[in-house]
Amino acid sequence: MAETSYVIIFIFGVFSIVLGVLAVLLPGQLTVWEEKLFRKLRIISGGSTAGRVKAGMFFQERLLGLVLLVFGVTAIYYLPVELTLGKGEDGSIIFLRNKYVKDTDIEEETVVSSDLICSEGLHIISARYGVGNRWRDVLKQIKEEIRNNAISIKVSNDIAGDPASGKVKALRVEYALDGERKTAKVTEGQWLHVPSDVELHPEVAAVNTREQLMGLVKQCPAEMGFFGMDLSTGQTVEFQANQPACLASIVKIFVLAEVMRQVDERTLELSESVTIERGNKKEICTISDALDKMIGVSDNKATDALAGHVGYDNVNALPSQLGISGLSEKILPEPGIFGKVLDKRVFGKTRLWPVDKPLVQHGSARGIVQYFKLLYTGSLISESVSKAILDVFDRNPKNVIGDTMPTGYKSVGKGGSCVWMRPDRDQYNMIGWGLLIRNEQTALALCVWFEWFPEQTSEELKRKWSSAISGSIVNILLAQGESTTESKGDMQASNPAETE
């Protein structure tokens, strides 16, 4: 918005200068031009007035011209930006650049002797903000943000202006914390935390008992819900399992199911072409490739193309046809609707939406686990469809719980996340996933979701919370499964007749 105002002021300044020069040098001719313009606009009529202009009137026009000239020069001179003509890497030829901030190249290294770095506390070595070959030295501004040997700042143009208009920029900071040199790079719109908020929360890690898990739930700064089930034993672990939450990209599992249903009915071929709209460009690929884009990298445009190809109504009818409860009637809306739904969350009176009125693209953790239970048992539409869906999932594994993943298990499924912001409102954000974790003997299904993390929470810390809760669910369910197996073994050993 500020740059638009600068452009308008600059244009008015140039116009004033041009008009002022003409008025000073060609006052009589300017009068003739004015008369012609007024006649075309039908502002005047009748005989010529230019011939009646006396030489004495030229003084007034020259004086007005001088005023316009001074105004134009002053307006442009005192703008906090300057017009730089040249060709940038994006092909543009005009740049508005802050006059008072030096642009630097990210490849330029700031050499700092380790002898000059304090062995204790936080020391900022270098700080740059920009993108491509347009970077600004913001060392002074970042140093001013240090509080108690820590920094927490939102990365934006407010730091020191905009070095590359229209592009997503990043803040790169090299620092030393207690003598150890590190580098942080944060994208525009995110928060820089030094030390990182992940380092500040070492207690966020997977636990092994229900009591410890509930203690972790109480520590979490976000709203959450989860449901986990051992599909082999029926054992469960849950918290707010019926609470509807935004599912974001998790709902793409229903697009996958509908595609495979139509393939199974031979109304669709995986080798068919589908067109993915990417702005002004079109990408043509097979339906099979589009499925991998949707499940593998969560490509929203590929999802739109597939849903449009098989029919949004068909996708939205699947949950009720499968007998899955706890999901909204419209699990996947057409493009443009999801933003309006998130506005209801941002402007809503409560953080958690009423259980009996799930919004579009919302659902419960229990409902998502029902999907994976049907899938594992071969009951998701049919055994052949279930197998085809599992093949796509297996091509695109999701090990989102890291070191907690038990050895020999495969994790597949779909994650989702979104961030929605409106002026003067709390930021709405969501992260979560639905997973099927299995080996040859055991299968676990789980869904976790988090909403309303504080805005300054990094994506890394959000994922750490998600992984910790998911890993805890896995630990608890596997421990219960082992206990059940041991109990059955003890019972069998105590009854020789049955053992025989």
pLDDT at 495 over 80: no
Question: Is there a domain that residue 483 lies in?
Answer: yes
Contacts of 127 by beta carbon, 8 Å cutoff, 6+ apart: 137, 138, 139, 141, 142, 143, 171, 172, 173, 174
Residue listed under structure tokens 């979701």: 449
Tens digit of pLDDT for each residue in 140-150?
Answer: 888 888 888 88
Question: Is there a domain that residue 109 lies in?
Answer: yes
| Confidence band for 6, pLDDT divided at 50, 70 and 90 | low
Q: Are residues 179 and 214 in the same domain?
A: no
Q: What is the DSSP string of 49-79?
A: SGGG--GGGHHHHHHHHHHHHHHHHHHHHT-
Q: Are residues 467 and 327 in the same domain?
A: yes
Tens digit of pLDDT for each residue in 36-69?
Answer: 655 565 544 555 544 444 445 566 667 777 777 7
Stretch 379-407: mean pLDDT: 92
Q: Are residues 153 and 230 in the same domain?
A: no
**Structure token digits, residue 336:** 């443009």
H/E run at residue 370? helix 365-376
Question: Is there a domain that residue 495 lies in?
Answer: no
Q: Are residues 68 and 135 in the same domain?
A: no
Stretch 347-375: mean pLDDT: 92
Q: Are residues 146 and 229 in the same domain?
A: no
Q: Are residues 136 and 221 in the same domain?
A: no
Of 168, 194, 220, the last residue of a domain is: 194
| Confidence band for 491, pLDDT divided at 50, 70 and 90 | very low
Q: Are residues 458 and 394 in the same domain?
A: yes
Question: Is there a domain that residue 171 lies in?
Answer: yes
If 0-12 CB within 10 Å is exposed, 13-18 middle and 19+ buried, where does residue 132 land? middle
**Structure token digits, residue 2:** 């500020």
User: Could you give the residue ranges of the DSSP H alpha helices within 220-356?
Assistant: 252-264, 287-296, 300-310, 312-322, 338-346
Question: Is there a domain that residue 243 lies in?
Answer: yes
Other CB atoms within 10 Å distance of the CB of residue 26:
15
Stretch 405-413: mean pLDDT: 91
Residue listed under structure tokens 């040098």: 25
Q: Are residues 348 and 450 in the same domain?
A: yes
Question: Is there a domain that residue 494 lies in?
Answer: no
pLDDT at 212 over 90: yes
CA distance 20 to 22: 5
**Mean pLDDT across the chain, nearest whole number?**
82
Which of 71, 81, 67, 92 is closest to 14 using CA atoms?
71
Of 194, 218, 242, the last residue of a domain is: 194
Looking at the 3D structure of the chain, how many domains does it have? 3
Question: Is there a domain that residue 52 lies in?
Answer: yes
CA distance 39 to 477: 87
DSSP-derived secondary structure letter, 161? -
Of 79, 113, 142, the last residue of a domain is: 79
Residue listed under structure tokens 């730089």: 84
**Structure token digits, residue 7:** 């452009």
pLDDT at 104 over 90: no
State the amino acid at position 105 in one-letter form: D
Which residues constitute the domain of residue 146?
A: 103-194
Cα–Cα distances in angstroms (integers) from residue 285 to residues 274, 291, 299, in the given order? 6, 10, 13
Q: Are residues 246 and 126 in the same domain?
A: no
Q: Are residues 215 and 348 in the same domain?
A: yes
What pLDDT does residue 429 have?
Answer: 95
What pLDDT does residue 220 have?
Answer: 94
Is the omega angle on the peptide bond into residue 195 within 30 degrees of 0, that is, cis? yes
CATH code, 385:
3.40.710.10
CA distance 328 to 155: 36
Which of 389, 393, 368 is closest to 250 using CA atoms?
368
**Structure token digits, residue 109:** 């290294």
Other CB atoms within 10 Å distance of the CB of residue 311:
12
With beta carbons less than 8 A apart as the criterion, state whether 249 and 430 touch: no
Question: Is there a domain that residue 308 lies in?
Answer: no
Which of 83, 102, 73, 239 is closest to 165 using CA atoms?
83
3 state SS of 148: coil
Tens digit of pLDDT for each residue in 251-299?
Answer: 999 999 999 999 999 999 999 999 999 988 999 999 999 999 999 999 9
Q: Are residues 401 and 375 in the same domain?
A: yes
Q: Are residues 36 and 109 in the same domain?
A: no
